[in-house]
């Protein structure tokens, strides 16, 4: 950033646990600054004020503030569309946590509004910007495993009631493993393999009620309103087919999160829920798997989930706004992922394969020579 350029000013709506990680990540960069935060629970916003020295304000005050360029929407999924719409209508660019909305109609409405008002819209997940996923992308683009044929993407855990202090919303409208954790897997696969042509899926609610196993609500009973186990097949335009499972019903498993299989080899990528991790390659004719070292600016282990790199996509969007280029965490990417994820539900309800109508371009990779703190 030039000495004369002013940092892009941000406002954050929603001050739950992840907001601290977002602010810490964003304040790593000199071209962006969080100006204000707001929450329906004022004490939550005040906590961020005490932690980071940012302003606490009302939503109306934030949307009316001419100094704020981008609204970061960290509310619950059922509120994403409403808050993002209000911000766009107020003339603000918007970066939303995943998913973009909870229905295709919500996503399409936001995308149309952003285009009509010539505003930027983008959203999480942003983990594909991390070192391990950028390395996986380069290996695929270089043809190391040959033409992609198939793959597996498996997110299988016992459920958030084991650790989250208030896990109810994970089992209510807008929740469930596909809309909650599925965005990391689906988005990552799109960035690696390209757009999806069709999907087929099955879904089920394994238990109608689930006891909370975490404090302080241990023993409370959650009524389950959404499927907790989804199995699907994604057919990509490049011909590859990937089997995906997202589940809150699996006690333990021994599978890699993502494996991709080509005509000339196989690739194990990092967990899409993290920014980096081991990348392993097997090439036809070799005797063993090879660990491929990271060589990317966003490869610092302390910058993974626990270390505060969540929010990297919002920084990338702000950088793109400042430099007049397209942002990688695009609304089209988020919309295509939403179309795919909800496609599994439509398939499960109808018993047929669902054609995916939306399309997006793969985000440009981040060059290996780009220094930390930049994206181009």
pLDDT at residue 300 is higher than 60: no
Residues facing 198 on adjacent strands: 235, 355
Residue among 281, 277, 321 at smallest CA distance from 296: 277
Residue range 198-227: mean pLDDT, rounded? 97
- Measured distance CA(300)–CA(262) in Å, rounded: 29
Q: How confident is the model over 328-345, as pLDDT tens digits?
A: 999 999 999 999 999 999
Rg over CA atoms, the chain: 20
At 35, is the secondary structure helix, strand, or coil? strand
C-alpha distances (whole Å) from 123 to each of 74, 273, 311, 337 are 10, 15, 10, 11
Q: How confident is the model over 77-105, as pLDDT tens digits?
A: 999 999 999 999 999 999 999 999 999 99
Residue range 154-167: mean pLDDT, rounded? 94
pTM above 0.85, yes or no: yes
Binned at pLDDT 50, 70 and 90, residue 136 comes out as very high
Residue range 20-44: mean pLDDT, rounded? 96
Average pLDDT, the chain: 94
Higher pLDDT, residue 373 or 216: 216
The residue ranges of every structural domain in the chain are: 130-298+334-354
Binned at pLDDT 50, 70 and 90, residue 306 comes out as very low
- Measured distance CA(156)–CA(213) in Å, rounded: 18
What are the structure tokens assigned to 271, written together?
Answer: 């967990």
Q: For position 369, what pLDDT does the model report? A: 86
Higher pLDDT, residue 367 or 143: 143
Binned at pLDDT 50, 70 and 90, residue 308 comes out as low
CA torsion 333→363→266→237, rounded to 10°? 50
* pLDDT > 90 fraction of the chain, expressed in percent and rounded: 90
Binned at pLDDT 50, 70 and 90, residue 296 comes out as confident
C-alpha distances (whole Å) from 315 to each of 33, 44, 123, 174 are 9, 23, 11, 26
Point out the least confidently predicted range of 105-114, 129-138, 298-307. 298-307
- The CATH code that applies to domain 130-298+334-354 is 3.30.360.10
pLDDT at residue 305 is higher than 70: no
Binned at pLDDT 50, 70 and 90, residue 5 comes out as confident
Point out the least confidently predicted range of 197-206, 244-253, 286-295. 286-295
């Amino acid at each position: 950033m030039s000495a004369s350029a002013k940092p892009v000013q941000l406002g954050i709506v929603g001050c739950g646990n992840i907001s601290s990680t977002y602010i810490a990540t964003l304040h790593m960069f000199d071209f962006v600054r969080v100006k204000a935060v707001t929450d329906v629970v004022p004490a939550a916003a005040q906590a961020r004020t005490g932690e980071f020295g940012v302003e606490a304000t009302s939503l109306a005050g934030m949307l009316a503030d001419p100094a704020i360029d981008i609204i970061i929407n960290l509310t619950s999924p059922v509120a994403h569309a409403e808050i993002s719409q209000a911000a766009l209508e107020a003339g603000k660019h918007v970066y939303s946590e995943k998913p973009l909305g909870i229905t295709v109609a919500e996503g399409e409405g936001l995308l149309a509004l952003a285009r009509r008002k010539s505003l930027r819209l983008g959203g999480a997940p942003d983990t594909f910007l991390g070192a391990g996923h950028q390395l996986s992308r380069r290996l695929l683009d270089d043809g190391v495993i040959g033409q992609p044929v198939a793959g597996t993407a498996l997110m299988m855990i016992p459920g958030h009631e084991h650790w989250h202090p208030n896990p109810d919303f994970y089992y209510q409208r807008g929740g469930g493993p596909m809309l909650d954790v599925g965005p990391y897997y689906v988005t990552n696969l799109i960035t690696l393999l390209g757009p999806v042509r069709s999907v087929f899926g099955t879904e089920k609610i394994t238990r109608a009620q689930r006891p909370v196993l975490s404090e302080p609500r241990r023993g409370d009973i959650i009524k389950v309103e959404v499927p907790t186990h989804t199995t699907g097949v994604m057919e990509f335009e490049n011909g590859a087919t990937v089997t995906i499972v997202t589940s809150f019903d699996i006690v333990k498993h021994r599978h890699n999160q993502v494996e991709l299989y080509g005509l000339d080899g196989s690739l194990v990528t990092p967990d899409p829920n993290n920014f980096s991790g081991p990348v392993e390659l097997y090439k036809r004719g070799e005797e063993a798997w090879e660990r491929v070292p990271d060589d990317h600016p966003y490869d610092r282990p302390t910058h993974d989930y626990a270390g505060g790199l969540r929010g990297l996509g919002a920084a990338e969007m702000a950088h793109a706004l400042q430099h007049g280029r397209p942002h990688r965490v695009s609304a089209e990417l988020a919309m295509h992922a939403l179309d795919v994820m909800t496609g599994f539900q439509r398939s499960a309800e109808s018993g047929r394969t669902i054609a995916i109508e939306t399309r997006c371009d793969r985000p440009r990779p981040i060059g290996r020579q780009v220094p930390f703190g930049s994206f181009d």
